[in-house]
Amino acid sequence: MMKRQMHLGLFILGTGSHVAGWRYPGAFDSFQDFAAIQEIGRSAERGKFDLIFMGDNLYADPAAHPSYTLRLEPMTMLSALAMTTSHIGLGATASTTYGDPWSTARAFASLDHISNGRAAWNAVTTSNAASGANFGRAHPDHSLRYEIAEEFVSTVKGLWDCWADDAIVKDRETGLYIDPAKVRTLDHDGPYFKVKGPLNIGRSPQGQPVVLQAGGSAPGQRLAARTADVVFSVVQDFDEAKAQYTSFKSLLPGFGRGADAVTMLPGVMPVVGRTDREAFDKLKTLQSFVSSTNALAMLSDRLGTDMSAYDLDGPVPDLGENDAYHAFAKVMLAKARRENMTLRDLYNLTAAARGHWVLAGSAETVADTLQYWFENSAADGFNVMPPYFPAGLDDFVDLVVPILQERGLFRADYEGTTLRDHLGLDRPERP
């Protein structure tokens, strides 16, 4: 039997995941510079990553992380990136609260055609309330957002299945272009969406583009267990990652799915040095660039609460349950309580990796840790979030990936052509 292998996603923010990564000497300083994005895409493909992922939000706050505030529209960017890469999966966020199923299904089917089977959709419910003002709508509450999302994702998948794989016959002899028996309408008539279908694009190379999900709340986990192929999670330590992994995988049989049907990738910001010491020094340099303004904006975003009025050197206040960012708030507040942190400690941590796990060390240390998590039921792989580009990614690709490959934990080369091939997922049959 083939040894189980890790999956690696690359989370791209042009200025790096660290809130001040762009200040690191030699770092890219823009998420609007396509030449830089192309270089990142090439490095990720050299490292044989499964996929590249572009998040998205629908508002701009000049105090926020620079790559949250100024960014290219992800589908436009990924369509361009499809032309300068050949194997790597291309994932983007699209909102189930502010989008519509028809346009979303069409856009991702198009990207799947353009990229020959490499598209992935991160279905997010959009937690930041500021988005509503850009669409002339009140921001729905958390449970309503997930209710809408359940119907939205099912409708998108239904649209992707309207055309049989062999519906487009293009028979020059008879003049038959489309076999009407192999195309159906969807006729979806639900509480939130009414969509007749079919889509005006044929079934795409992957059958259905890959679905990603990153909600950490109970409704988020249920949506992921029912509909997703890949789940991104937020963790701060091994025990937490293992608990989340076990709990999420235990939901799958309830939806008629096996544990391998969904790939779980915790987020990690690796800071890699030639020695542990060098890595810690890099992290220290990065942290020296943090200012209270950018760090507090990020912390407030993650906790869903404006933190600017609190005493930075006081204890982290008890915020109770929070509707805006269940996953991040829960994980970060738990860590703050465990480690008796001040608000300043917590904002320093959040500034580093936006609430995700920071792993600093030599390439050996980083590879050992990832291997331990992977082999001890805490992860199926990782969503890698370099603190800055290009060197933060190149260190991982050139120093850590070869160790994982040598140990047989990661592919030496791509074996298939589609993202489903990389993830070891079957191409879905059309029901």
Ligand X SMILES: Cc1cc2nc3c(=O)[nH]c(=O)nc-3n(C[C@H](O)[C@H](O)[C@H](O)COP(=O)(O)O)c2cc1C
Binding mask 355-394 for ligand X (x = CB under 6 A): ----------------------------x-----------
Min dist CB 38 to ligand X, Å, is 21
CA distance 311 to 322: 20
Q: How many residues sit close enough to ligand X to count as binding (CB under 6 A)?
A: 21
140: contact with ligand X by CB under 6 A? no
Task: Considering only residues 157 through 216, tell me which ones interact with ligand X, judged by CB under 6 A.
Answer: 214-216
CB neighbours of residue 62 within 10 Å: 8
57: contact with ligand X by CB under 6 A? yes
| 51 within 8 A of 9, measured Cβ to Cβ | yes
Instruction: Provide φ and ψ at 350, rounded to 5°.
Output: -70, -40
From candidates 91, 140, 220, 386, binder to ligand X by CB under 6 A: 220
419: contact with ligand X by CB under 6 A? no
Q: Which stretch binds ligand X (CB under 6 A): 21-29, 49-57, 101-109, 372-380?
A: 49-57
The pair of three-digit structure tokens given for residue 388, joined into one six-digit string: 């800055």
Min dist CB 146 to ligand X, Å, is 7
Q: What DSSP designation does 20 have?
A: T
From candidates 79, 125, 155, 208, binder to ligand X by CB under 6 A: 125
Closest CA to 380 of 413, 326, 337, 425: 425
Strands (E), 89-201: 89-95, 119-124, 168-171, 176-178, 188-189, 194-195
Question: DSSP assignment of 338-354, as one string?
Answer: HTT-BHHHHHHHHHHHT
326: contact with ligand X by CB under 6 A? yes
> Residue-wise over 68-81: b if at least 16 C-beta within 10 A, else e?
bbebbebbebbbeb
Closest CA to 364 of 241, 295, 428, 275: 275
Binding mask 78-107 for ligand X (x = CB under 6 A): ---------------x--------------
56: contact with ligand X by CB under 6 A? yes
Task: Considering only residues 250 through 269, tell me which ones interact with ligand X, judged by CB under 6 A.
Answer: 267
127: contact with ligand X by CB under 6 A? yes
Q: Which stretch binds ligand X (CB under 6 A): 64-72, 122-130, 293-301, 412-420?
A: 122-130
| 354 within 8 A of 19, measured Cβ to Cβ | yes
Q: Which stretch binds ligand X (CB under 6 A): 54-62, 104-112, 305-313, 345-353?
A: 54-62
Min dist CB 256 to ligand X, Å, is 22
Residues 129/130/136/141 CA torsion (nearest 10 deg) = 0
236: contact with ligand X by CB under 6 A? no
50: contact with ligand X by CB under 6 A? no
In the complex, which residues of this chain contact ligand X (CB under 6 A)?
Answer: 55-57, 93, 122, 124-127, 214-217, 220, 232, 234, 267, 325-327, 383
